[in-house]
Amino acid sequence: MQVKTDFFKKNYIAGQWIESSTGEMIISINPATEQIIGSSPKSGLEDIRLAIDSAAHAFQATDWRYNSAKRSEALMRWAAKLNEEKESIAKILTMENGKTIRESRIELTACIDTLKYYAGMARSLFGRSITPSAESYSIIDKEPIGVVGIISPWNWPAMLMIREVAPALAAGNAVILKPASQTPLTSLTIVKLVDEVEEFPAGIVNMVTGPGALIGNELTINPKVDALSFTGDTNTGKQLMKQAADKVKKLALELGGKSPHILFPDANLKKAIPNITHSIFITAGQMCFAGTRVIVHESIHKEVVEALRQQAERLKVGNGLEESTDMGPVISEKQLKKVLEYCDIGREEAKLVTGGNRLRGGEYDQGFYLQPTIFDEVPIESRLAQEEIFGPVLAVQVFKEEEEAIALANGTIFGLAAGIWTNDVNRAIRVARKVKAGTVWINTYNKNYPQTEFGGYKESGLGRTRGIEGLMEYTETKHINIQI
Ligand code: NAD
């Protein structure tokens, strides 16, 4: 079935598709072709306030928060609809974001899986009871928070929205979704499916597109929004945290990363090299937990850099709609310029191994294409090692002793993920326990499941998404006591 796109131009509020009060539009550009592919509302304060009121009303006036069977059924049916539309939405996602069609399918499959997981969890959310004394009986209840704002980025726009909205709904909240202005079409298409599931009461799911500084900001400061989930840049997250403090708003932050791989001399390189290459060049490096740094033992340094170079140069860069493409363009001209600036910085700070340029000519005449890029001997204090580039740029660092590798891994403000490559199980666990990151993969990378928690240490975030903790982020705990 082909997804119709006439609803792109409207917000979804109180179960209706409503034109924005501003009448203005955000134009969506395909980063692979620079062609216009659609437009969505550039909403104003009136629109977002209407959505907040709609969510608050639906939360109060319906049985949503008390009816876990209905919530479970609604999420299950949303998953089924998404499954039916997977291929057409994958195309929209690739055309809007630039990522390869294979990545888009993986992203949507993960969304379906996540909706199903939280459909089950909706029925399993329970508190506990306790008898503090013979005359006293206490219930520890788990309640939804109320109205939840969910602000998402553009890099994994479907997954990063679903991984928050699914637990928020499973717990019984009403939500207002604010997608990134680079990828509203994917998000609107997924929300269109909510409209087709009758178990969702009108107003429980709302979506308003528009500028972050206006629409996202209103979700942050409006006192009727009880909790906020933000996934995005660390600096934006810090700003939201300061603003949310005013109302002591509940906040979950999923922020940036600079995640390392540590390669010990006994690493299985046949496994490690393709995994590392994939971890940095997937979505053209625009992934929060991209494996942006390789910390390699000096004894295998030259061999590893040469193998990485060969893999990077073998990648087919192109339009993500081609099945054979390995790496698509970056999201925008602005992002391309930012990454190229980092490549110039890298030429000063370190040794360029491969890449470092924009691709031009022939099939690359249109589109924001970059070469897969590797820098070697990158000093830990350099900008290349410290800052989140959000592009296909890998930084290699060398170590002699285990403690040095750990210090390098922990030597940034971020702490999202890490990969450890060794056949020594004792060393793997010892190092995993010392690395300050929310996720540590051993002899693998990029393995995420709906049932396993994800989140950041240090400036990579606050709170956890996915799993049981991901559900708990969207609940309040209440003690009810009765004297008998
Ligand atoms: P961004 O912070 O620019 O934007 C994210 C969202 O916030 C967008 O919807 C945007 O419109 C909105 N926004 C922007 N300014 C705002 C403001 N002042 N008030 C409220 N909302 C505002 O981030 P981005 O460029 O879209 O995404 C890339 C970043 O996201 C990277 O840093 C990446 O590491 C991070 N990220 C983190 C995770 C994670 O799970 N930790 C996952 C994906 C992306």
Average pLDDT over residues 86-99: 98
> Is the C-beta atom of 189 inside 6 A of ligand 1?
no
CA 424 / ligand 1 centre spacing (Å): 38
Average pLDDT over residues 305-327: 98
Give the 3-state secondary structure of residue 250: strand
Give the 3-state secondary structure of residue 129: strand
The ipTM, to two decimals, is 0.96
The pTM of this model reads 0.97
**Is the model's pLDDT at 5 over the cut of 80?**
no
CA 256 / ligand 1 centre spacing (Å): 9
Average pLDDT over residues 346-357: 98
Token pair of 154 as six digits: 């553009």
Q: Looking at residue 4, what is its pLDDT?
A: 58
> Is the C-beta atom of 160 inside 6 A of ligand 1?
yes
Three-class SS of 443-463: CCCCCCCCCCCECCCHHHEEC
Identify whether 254 is a catalytic site residue: yes
- pLDDT tens-place string over residues 37-84: 999 999 999 999 999 999 999 999 999 999 999 999 999 999 999 999
User: Counting beta carbons within 10 angstroms of the beta carbon of residue 49, is it exposed (0 to 12), middle (13 to 18) or buried (19 or more)?
Assistant: middle
The pLDDT confidence band at residue 458, using thresholds 50, 70 and 90, is very high
Token pair of 403 as six digits: 């403690």
Residue 150 backbone dihedrals phi, psi, to 5 degrees: -125, 115
Percent of the chain with pLDDT over 90: 98
Please, are residues 141 and 113 in contact by the beta-carbon 8 Å criterion?
no
**Token pair 């034109």 is at which residue?**
19
What is the number of the ligand 1 atom nearest to the C-alpha of 179?
Answer: 9
Q: Looking at residue 6, what is its pLDDT?
A: 76
Average pLDDT over residues 229-237: 98
Alpha helices by DSSP H, 127-177: 157-170
The pLDDT confidence band at residue 2, using thresholds 50, 70 and 90, is very low
Terminal Cα-to-Cα distance of the chain (whole angstroms): 60
Average pLDDT over residues 131-160: 98
Catalytic residue among 199, 254, 459, 473: 254
Instruction: Please choose from 96, 97, 150, 155 the residue to mutate so as to test ligand 1's pocket, defined by most ligand atoms within 8 A of CB.
Output: 155
Q: Looking at residue 167, what is its pLDDT?
A: 98
Average pLDDT over residues 135-143: 98
> Is the C-beta atom of 212 inside 6 A of ligand 1?
yes
- pLDDT tens-place string over residues 377-412: 999 999 999 999 999 999 999 999 999 999 999 999
What amino acid is encoded at 361 in this protein? Answer: G
